[in-house]
Amino acid sequence: MKKKKIKNKYMFGIFALAIIAVLGVGVAVASPLGNGFMGNSNLTTAEKTAMQQQAQEIQTAIDNKDFATWKSLMESQLTEDNFNKLVDANQKMSQEKTLQSELKQAVSDGDTAKAQELKAQLFDLVPQRNFGQRNLATQTASAN
């Protein structure tokens, strides 16, 4: 009996962490400062509106302490497609972190060529960010 309770608590903990992660994604998606799901600015206006509406519904359920509605809304986001998007975003963030660390070291070492190369790689990986120069692709091409 005790093992079953521990297993149930363990499963509840995993479920709770998954829900928190999904809620975090939902809030980020609905953020007016964001670019859509996982930085996807290719979403249509209707898709963005639907995502923002669902995030608002989740917030309303939380405000109203309506567990059944909140659970239903959260479960609707637990899809293999959303999981795969989270995996891809996690891999991209890991690559970005590595490149930024290498860039910091190149700058510290005074290796301008390596820093430019790393900035270009970062720009290719995350084009919506500005890594010190706006048009790295054009500058790199004109330098060669």
Provide the percentage of residues in the chain whose pLDDT is more than 90.
32
Residues 87 and 139 grouped into a single domain: yes
Residues 60 and 124 grouped into a single domain: no
Q: Is the pLDDT of residue 22 over 50?
A: yes
Residues 91 and 71 grouped into a single domain: no
SS3 state at 43: coil
Residue 82 pLDDT class (50, 70, 90 cuts): confident
pLDDT value of residue 97: 92
Number of domains in the chain: 2
Q: Which domain holds residue 48?
A: 1-78
Q: Compute the C-alpha angle 87/70/55, nearest 5°.
A: 60
Residues 62 and 93 grouped into a single domain: no
pLDDT mean across residues, the chain: 76
Distance CA 103, CA 114 (A): 8
pLDDT value of residue 123: 87
Residues 135 and 92 grouped into a single domain: yes
Q: What's the predicted TM-score (pTM) here?
A: 0.49
